[in-house]
């Protein structure tokens, strides 16, 4: 029997509030992280991801007080990312109640940190977040191809690193999971970037979480049917009550996707 697919609500947090933007900008306040975390746990979420979206850009640690408050009200796996620069930061986040840490900027700047985290805390604790921007190649008269660039500091800075090769590298370094976000699709609610997700999930053997663009339960069904991802992350659909975690799982189950109900 295949492993159950996971549904993961995401809490993008800025200044203690859950926020939601489009293409990593135009951010608006959506509500209280503790309220949302408790609600989604009761609705049957498989995990919660908490991303302090400006911590790396602002050169500070993630908000440990808020992380502790969220950890207290949930009993499901809890991943925290944002502002984790070294082993000390990761340890502090795990001691605050997180089960996993997610790193992006720090992994690009110091790839060995991935291996160090794995050796100290175990592979199951290490999530590498890959934020990707699509670049088109070729003139308008030609058939355009594209390449996928890894971006850091909350999407603000390009790296010139090709995302598929980077995914393979972080797997070798010891990442237990990849959180893959399409910056182009983020907040648009018009569906996941299936081409990107398919390419990355085929290139690695570790679990890939699809993120960016979910606007309906149909999009979640589509990403599970058309790619090899193990989990789908979503925010707007749940924050603005277009669907509940429970209703999405019922829909997936009715359409032949193995989920925990």
Which residue is associated with the tokens 């009550």?
241
75 in Cβ contact with 37 (< 8 Å): no
**Rounded Cα–Cα distance for residues 57 and 4 (Å):** 35
| 19-227-44-239 Cα dihedral, nearest 10 degrees | 20
Report helix, strand or coil for 186: coil
What token pair was written down for 236?
A: 């707007």
Share the mean pLDDT of the chain.
92
pLDDT digits (tens, 9 = 90+) for 207-261: 999 999 999 999 999 999 999 999 999 999 999 999 999 999 999 999 999 999 9
12, 46, 52, 89: the catalytic one is 12
14, 46, 89, 131: the catalytic one is 131
**Rounded Cα–Cα distance for residues 229 and 197 (Å):** 7
Q: What is the pLDDT of residue 17?
A: 86
Q: Identify which of 176, 178, 212 has the alpha carbon closest to the alpha carbon of residue 195.
A: 212
User: Does the pLDDT at position 91 exceed 80?
Assistant: yes
CA distances from 246 to 9, 166, 169, 213 (A): 12, 34, 36, 20
7 in Cβ contact with 46 (< 8 Å): yes
- For residue 85, name the pLDDT band (cuts at 50, 70, 90): very high
Active site residue 12: yes
Lowest mean pLDDT among 23-37, 126-140, 143-157, 173-187: 23-37
Element (H, E) at 50: strand 48-52
Active site residue 131: yes
pLDDT digits (tens, 9 = 90+) for 101-110: 999 999 999 9
Would you call 128 exposed, middle or buried from its count of C-beta atoms within 10 A (0-12, 13-18, 19+)? buried
DSSP string, 65-124: HHHHHHHHH--S-EEEESS--SHHHHHHHHHTT-SEEEESHHHHH-THHHHHHHHHH-GG
Strands 145-152 and 157-162: antiparallel
pLDDT digits (tens, 9 = 90+) for 7-22: 999 998 888 888 877 7
**Rounded Cα–Cα distance for residues 109 and 130 (Å):** 13
Calculate ∠ Cα 35-191-203, nearest 5°. 100
């Amino acid at each position: 029997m295949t492993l159950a697919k996971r549904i993961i609500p995401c809490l993008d947090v800025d200044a203690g509030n859950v926020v939601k933007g489009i293409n990593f900008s135009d951010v608006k306040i959506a509500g209280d992280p503790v309220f949302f975390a408790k609600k989604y746990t009761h609705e049957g979420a498989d995990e919660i991801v908490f991303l302090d979206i400006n911590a790396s850009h602002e050169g500070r640690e993630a908000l440990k007080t808020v992380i502790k408050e969220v950890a207290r009200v949930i009993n499901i796996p809890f991943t925290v990312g944002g502002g984790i620069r070294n082993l000390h930061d990761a340890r502090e986040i795990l001691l605050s109640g997180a089960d996993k840490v997610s790193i992006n900027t720090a992994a690009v700047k110091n790839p060995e940190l991935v291996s160090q985290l794995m050796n100290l805390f175990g592979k199951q604790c290490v999530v590498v977040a890959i934020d990707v921007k699509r670049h088109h190649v070729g003139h308008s008269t030609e058939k355009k191809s594209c390449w996928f660039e890894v971006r850091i500091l909350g999407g603000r800075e390009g790296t010139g690193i090709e995302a598929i090769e980077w995914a393979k590298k972080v797997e070798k370094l010891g990442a237990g999971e990849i959180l893959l976000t399409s910056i182009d699709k983020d907040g648009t609610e018009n569906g996941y970037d299936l081409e990107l997700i398919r390419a990355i999930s085929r290139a690695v053997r570790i679990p890939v979480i699809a993120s960016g663009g979910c606007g309906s339960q149909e999009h979640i069904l589509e990403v599970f049917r058309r790619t090899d991802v193990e989990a789908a992350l979503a925010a707007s659909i749940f924050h603005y009550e277009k669907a509940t975690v429970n209703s999405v799982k019922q829909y997936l189950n009715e359409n032949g996707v193995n989920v925990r109900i």
